[in-house]
Each structure stands twice: as structure tokens, then as C-alpha cells.
Amino acid sequence: MNAFETFYANSASSHLMGSIVQKEIDQVREKLADSIGAYPSEIVFTSGATESNNIAFKSLLLSGDIPTGKNHIVTSTIEHKCVLAICDYFKSIGFEVTYIKPNVDGIICPNDVKDAINEKTALVSIMHVNNELGTINPIGEIGKLCSENNIIFHSDAAQSYGKTEIDVDNFNIDVMSFSAHKVGGPKGIGAIYIRDLRHRKLLPVIHGAGQEQGLRGGTIAAPLIIGYGTAIDLFPKYYQSFSEMRIKEYLIEGLSNEGIGFNINGRTKALPHCLSLTLLNTNVALMIRENDQTISLAQGSACSSKEIEASHVLTSLGLTREQAEGTIRLSFPLDVTFEQIDIFIKAVKKATR
């Protein structure tokens, strides 16, 4: 709120007020770059991870910088809907796309990526942490593989940033997507990391007056960026104390104690902030309806939970339609309390036979 009032000037202006805003933006750019082992010149602010994912594909692949004949993309079946939509578009303009399925634990295996790439592969895009399961993909190994084969490696880090270590050099990342509102920042702001940005020929995602190194025209959203910077500062501390509550373990134990049957989707190596739970004997639709004034519950990810289709992530894991319908995806607010979890367990029990 303070940034909206205090830093109103256009950061592109050369007067004092403009340069004060520019300095604030530069600090956030530096902070984000530092936190992932990148240079500030390799960071472009965007409207969020959806836009960053669009840039990762379109600005790199359609720039004329990629040798002709390199028209193959490798991605996974459990990417965010926007990546799958972008891939559909690339198929419509003549690209070939290979979709890798996760293993039973919801993880994309480097060996499967190795089998999928060929001499025509231009880009591999594998998300860092899955947004429905919380599972962590071994992107370091996948990055190494891509680097050895001279393939651009993009990873969507909307769910992982601030929650698990990211080092773009150690992981051999070429392009990475971020979103502020996944770390408590404002909606409508995010970023993309592009290795050696200045030396690449990139197709602007918005042709404009040269902002953001010519990649994305339009007056820079200073208040949102400054809010993003505050989120970057504060989030780790909150996430740390949230993690120490071991809320997932508390919930799982509570469900077991009540004799409620469940499966956890994506069991191993998952982050603590989200949980995909298949309730075996519970009328999930009824439970969601009965508690919609008190518990904010969704089936699948929030972006597409109003759709009637079963989640593509769950069907990729081999769940039947019926099992997918009995699945809820929980994400915990960082200030969650044990009492709130008790209320949730009571609600599940009431809808369970």
C-alpha cells in the first residue's frame, strides 16, 4: 500500500522522483537475482508465471535464433495448464511435443527425459515443484542432461521459489518462471530468468517502448514489484516456522486416528504447503458443499477448479475418474492452526461412511 502512494512516478523518467522509483525496482531485481544465483540483467518482471511461461516458449523459440529443423519440445503431463496450452499452440504451428508421464510418486524421471530428447529437440520444460502434489522434480539432473545436449532448459518455479533451494548455475537452468502471489506478494506480478539475456535474440512478448530490455513494453508496475520485493524478504521466515509445525503430519495422523481411509498422491519428497488427498469412503462433493462458508476447499488446482473434468495431474498418476473425484488438494495458509486442522478432520469424518 505504501508503494502505491510513495512510488508513483514513472521509473523510466530521468527526474528525481522517477530515479527514486527506478532504484527501488533495481533493488528487487537484484534481490531476486541474488536468491537464485543469477545476474540482475537476466531478470525481467512479468505479470506472473503464466506470462513467464509464454515468454519462455515464444520469445525463445520464435525469435529466429533456433536452427531450423529444431522443432521438438519435451515437457511433462503434469505441468501447469498454461504450459500445456502453450504446447497445444506450438503443435498447431508445426512443432512436435513429447509429454513425459510421472512415476507413481508423481516425479518426472531424468531417464525418461533422456529417452525423449533427440537431435531435433529445441526446448525441455519441466516444472520444479508440482502445484497439485507438492512433489519436487530432480531439475538439477534434467538440467545437466539438457546442457550436455545443447538443449534449452526451462523450469516453472512458481511453486518452488522461496520454499526449496534454487541455483540456476548448479541446476543448469536456462530459463525459469516465478510468480509473486505464490510467496505472499501481490497478484499480477512475477518474473522470468533468462540466462545471458543480453546476448540472445528474443521475440518481444509485448512490442513497446523498450522497457525490460525490449522484451516487454509498457510502464513498469513499480508498486507491484516493490510489493514482490517485500514478499521475497519476508516469506522465508514465515515458511520456516510453518514448516516446523509439521501440519501435514498432524493432519495425516488425525485422519488415521479417526479411521478415515485415504491415499496421498505424490508421496515422497513433497513440500509441506500442499497436499493431494484421495478420500476413499468420503462423499467429497458433499463435504465441500457443506463447508463452503468456513473451509476454502478445491478439487484440483485453483486455476481450473470450476472445471468439471478430472485433474490432468491425477489422471497422469493413473487415478480413475472416480478416484479423482474423491480427491482434494489442500494448501495451507502459513498461519494455519492445529485447531483449524481439527475442524477440517471433523468435517471429513462427518461426510465419511
Ligand X SMILES: *Cc1c(COP(=O)(O)O)cnc(C)c1O
Q: In whole angstroms, how close is the CB of 46 to ligand X at the nearest point?
A: 8
Residue 79 or 112: the one with the smaller Cβ distance to ligand X is 79
Q: Residue 123 pairs with which residues in a beta bridge?
A: 73, 152
C-alpha dist (Å) from residue 71 to 91, 95, 119, 152, 253 = 10, 5, 10, 12, 49
Spatial contact of 196 and 42, defined as CB atoms under 8 Å apart: yes
Comparison of 86 and 197: residue with beta carbon closer to ligand X = 86
Q: Which grid coordinates belong to 352? A: 465419511
**CB of 353 vs ligand X, minimal distance in Å:** 34
When the beta carbons of 215 and 345 are compared against ligand X, the nearer one is 215
* Least Å from the CB of residue 274 to ligand X: 9
Among the listed residues 134, 180, 159, the one whose alpha carbon sits nearest the alpha carbon of residue 329: 134
If the CB atoms of residues 84 and 116 are measured against ligand X, the closer one turns out to be 84
Q: Point out the residue whose Cβ comes nearest to ligand X.
A: 48
Q: Please identify, using beta-carbon distances, which residue of 143 and 254 lies nearer to ligand X.
A: 143
By the criterion CB under 6 A, which residues form the site for ligand X? 48-50, 80, 82, 127, 131, 156, 158-159, 179, 182, 190
Q: Closest distance between ligand X and the C-beta of residue 43, in Å?
A: 15
Question: E-assigned strands of the chain?
Answer: 43-46, 72-76, 96-100, 121-125, 152-156, 175-179, 190-194, 262-265, 274-279, 327-331
Q: Of 158, 152, 26, 105, which Cα lies nearest the Cα of 318?
A: 105
User: CA-based angle 145:147:148, to the nearest 5?
Assistant: 65
Residue 252 C-beta: closest distance to ligand X, Å: 23
DSSP labels for 134-166?
-BB--HHHHHHHHHHTT-EEEEE-TTTTTTS--
Helix, strand, or coil here: 66?
Answer: coil
Just list the catalytic residues.
303
For ligand X, which is the closer residue by CB, 21 or 127?
127
User: To the nearest whole angstrom, how small is the minimum distance from the Cβ of residue 123 to ligand X?
Assistant: 16
Kindly state the smallest distance separating residue 345's Cβ from ligand X, in Å. Answer: 26
DSSP code string of 217-229: -S---HHHHHHHH
Residue 49 or 126: the one with the smaller Cβ distance to ligand X is 49
User: What does the buried/exposed string (b/e) look like for 222-240 if buried means 16 or more CB atoms within 10 Å of the residue's CB?
Assistant: bbbbbbbbbbbeebeebbe
Q: How far is CA 350 from CA 204, 236, 290, 307, in A?
A: 54, 36, 10, 26
Q: Are 82 and 53 in contact (CB under 8 A)?
A: yes
